[in-house]
Chains A and B, each alone.
Chain A
Amino acid sequence: MTDAHTPAAPKCPPSPAAAEAAGPSASAVGSATSTATTPVTEPAAGFATAATKVSDAHSPALASEPPIVSVRDLTVTFNPGKRPIKAVNGVDLVVRRGESIALIGESGSGKSVTLRSLLRLHSERRTVIGGQIDIAGHAVLSLSNRALADYRGRVASMIFQEPLLALDPVYTVGAQIIESIRRHEKISVADARKRALELFERVRIPSPERRLDAYPHEMSGGMRQRAMIALALACRPQVLLADEPTTALDATVQIQILLLLRELQRELGLAIIFVTHDMGAAVEVAERFAVMYAGRIVEEGPTREVMHNPRHPYTLALMQSRAHGAMAKGARLASIAGSPPDLAALPPGCAFAGRCVFAEPRCHEIQPDAVQLSELHRARCIRTDATAAGMPRIEPATV
Chain B
Amino acid sequence: MDISSKPRQVHPPLIDIRDRGGPAQPMLRVRKLFKHFDLKKSFIESLAGGGQVVRAVDGVDFDVFKGETLGVVGESGCGKSTTARLLMHLIEPSGGEIIFDGETVGTPGLSLREYRRQVQLVFQDSYSSLNPRLTIEDSVAFGPQVHGVSRREAIGRARDLLARVGLEPRRFAERYPHELSGGQRQRVNIARALALEPRLVILDEAVSALDKSVEAQVLNLLMDLKDAFGLTYIFISHDLHVVRYISDRVMVMYLGKVAETGPAEDLFERPLHPYTGALLSSMPSMDPDQRTQEAPLTGDPPNPINPPSGCRFHTRCPMAEPVCAEQTPTLASVRGQRKVACLIHEIGSGHSQADAAIYAA
Contact = CB atoms under 8 A, between A and B. Distances in A.
Contact of B211 (A107, A262, A284, A329): A107
A214 to B, nearest CB: 14
Given A321-B215, A334-B3, A339-B183, A329 B265 contact: yes
B17 interface: no
Interface stretch (A22-30, A162-170, A245-253): A245-253
A333 B287 contact: no
Contact of A333 (B76, B219, B278, B299): B219
B217 A399 contact: yes
A7 interface: no
Interface in B261-278: 264-265, 268, 278
Contacts, number: 175
Interface string B216-255: 1101110100000000000000111110111000000000
B3 A331 contact: yes
Interface in B126-182: 166-167, 181-182
B1 A334 contact: yes
B358 interface: no
A332 B214 CA distance: 13
A391 to B, nearest CB: 5
A324 B244 CA distance: 9
Nearest to A204: B298
A259 to B, nearest CB: 6
Given A333-B220, A398-B221, A324 B295 contact: no
Contacts of B296: 252, 255
A360 B56 CA distance: 55
Classify the interface of chain B: helix, strand, loop or mixed.
Answer: loop
Interface stretch (B4-12, B113-121, B346-354): B4-12
Given A323-B241, A332-B2, A253 B216 contact: no
B211 A399 contact: no
A395 B5 contact: yes
Interface in A75-133: 106-107
A277 interface: yes
Interface of B: 1-8, 10, 75-76, 166-167, 181-184, 187, 211-217, 219-221, 223, 238-242, 244-246, 264-265, 268, 278-279, 282-289, 291-292, 294-301, 303
Given A332-B8, A357-B1, 19 more contacts: A206-B299, A220-B300, A250-B75, A254-B282, A255-B282, A255-B296, A262-B291, A278-B284, A307-B288, A317-B213, A321-B213, A325-B268, A327-B241, A327-B245, A329-B264, A331-B7, A333-B216, A333-B219, A392-B1
18 contacts: A221-B300, A222-B300, A250-B301, A255-B283, A256-B297, A259-B294, A283-B285, A304-B288, A304-B289, A307-B288, A317-B1, A318-B212, A323-B244, A323-B245, A325-B244, A393-B3, A398-B217, A399-B166
